[in-house]
Structure 1
Amino acid sequence: MSDLSKRSLVGVMMIAVALVAALLGGWPFAILAATGATIMYVEWSRIVTGWGLGWKVLGFVYCLLPALALLWVRERAEFDGVGSGFDLLIWVFLVTWATDIGAYFAGRAIGGPKLAPSISPNKTIAGLAGGVAAATLAAGSWALAASLPGALLWLAAPFAIASQMGDLFESGLKRRAGVKDSGTWLPGHGGLLDRLDGLVPVAVLTASLLLAGWL
């Protein structure tokens, strides 16, 4: 099986698990969020071994906040009778997934100038553009279909950029640590931290806007 096939199969399985847990909500989704945060922290701790206590504390916050944000979005989001926490959670997922998929295929197909060669040599400006375009289309379409707040139509693009910045942040950590992936247990993907690094800023930003009453 090719690397792309492995990556696609594992990706589909992860998406399916996330969607089922999101649909069920309650304890199933809480358990998934807690498990994900725990695995992320274990992988983070391995990356920053020997870097000092501050990095361990930062990692704890980094892994905990998105889990709490996702739970808040799923269970607490209300939009005056239209949309729901589940709908908004799917929007968060679509921004992250579409950015990752769009960037991957646009980067491979177009190539061109590198986005941040000193941090992640494989990422390109074309990949970033492809990710933003894919996220805007996918998440924007979902926002319309689910009658979510109009702000989410234009927020998809900047949040897609934030997702890529989250990816670059984790890439910078790995480069400093001299490791390629945060783990090896997800064929074609590396570790869970490698897959959820883009979700971290999108989840936290969405929950922050919701808490501030801007959604």
Structure 2
Amino acid sequence: MSELAVRTLSGVAMIAVALAAAAKGGNVFAVGVGLVAMAIYYEWTRLARGWGAIWWVTGFLYALIPALALLWIRERDASGLYLLLWTFIVTWSTDIGAYFVGRAVGKRKLAPAISPGKTVAGFWGGVAAAALLGGAWALLTGLGVALLFLAPLFGVAAQGGDLFESWMKRRAGVKDSGSWLPGHGGVLDRLDGLVPVAVLTAMAQIGGLT
């Protein structure tokens, strides 16, 4: 089976699990988020081994804050599920758009010293995908016009989260944060973009923009 096929199948499986847990909400979603946060922290500590205690504290906050943000988004009000799915859609579409546009037409490197595989075309492909799919979901569900403008901005944030994790891996001298997910590496490899998007979405909700 090709690498793309493995990546696609495992990606679909992860999306299905995430959607099922999100739809269920309550304790099921809370436990799932908690387990994911634990996995993120575990992988963080492996990457940052020997970097000093401040990195362990930072990693704890890095895992905890987005986990709390996701729980806040889901349970805050009646539209919580729709907003949570918007958060997922923006993150996933950014990743998928960047991957396929980058592979198809990407030539100029975005940040070769940090992540040689990322391209400028891929970056804009991710932003465009976030804007289109995130915007479409916001309109379809009546979440508010503000999310039309936030979707591409959060698409940029998702890629910033990806680049930060790539920098950590380069400093640690590893290709992936783990090997739990076939075709994707570790949990942190897959959720590095969701971390900033979850936090920013919760902040937008608290600020009354959603």
In the superposition, the TM-score normalised over structure 1's length comes to: 0.96
Q: Take 2:66 and 2:109, find their aligned partners in 1: how far apart are those partners?
A: 28
Specify the alignment match of 1:4 in structure 2: 4
Measure how far apart 1:34 and its partner are: 0.2
Q: Take 2:207 and 2:55, find their aligned partners in 1: how far apart are those partners?
A: 29
State the Cα deviation string for residues 159-199 of structure 1 (Å, max 9, x = none): 00000000000000000010100001211100000000000
Alignment RMSD (CA, Å):
0.8
Which ranges of 4 or more aligned residues in structure 1 deviate by more than 4 Å? none
List alignment gaps of at least 5 residues for structure 2.
none
| 1:115 matched to 2:115 | no
Measure how far apart 1:209 and its partner are: 1.4
| 1:69 matched to 2:69 | yes
Q: How does 1:191-202 map to 2 (within 5 A)?
A: 191-202=186-197
Specify the alignment match of 1:57 in structure 2: 57
SS in structure 2 of the partner of residue 67 of structure 1: helix
* 1:113 and 1:124 in contact (8 A); partners too: yes
SS in structure 1 of the partner of residue 129 of structure 2: helix
* 1:77 and 1:210 in contact (8 A); partners too: no
Q: Take 1:206 and 1:185, find their aligned partners in 2: how far apart are those partners?
A: 27
Q: Take 1:127 and 1:214, find their aligned partners in 2: how far apart are those partners?
A: 28
Q: Take 1:143 and 1:212, find their aligned partners in 2: how far apart are those partners?
A: 17
Match of 1:177 among 151, 172, 179: 172
Specify the alignment match of 2:128 in structure 1: 133
What is the identity, as a one-letter code, of the residue corresponding to 2:154?
F
Measure how far apart 1:112 and its partner are: 1.4
State the Cα deviation string for residues 113-157 of structure 1 (Å, max 9, x = none): 111111000000000111111111111111011000110011100
Q: Take 2:74 and 2:144, find their aligned partners in 1: how far apart are those partners?
A: 16
In the superposition, the TM-score normalised over structure 2's length comes to: 0.98
Specify the alignment match of 2:139 in structure 1: 144
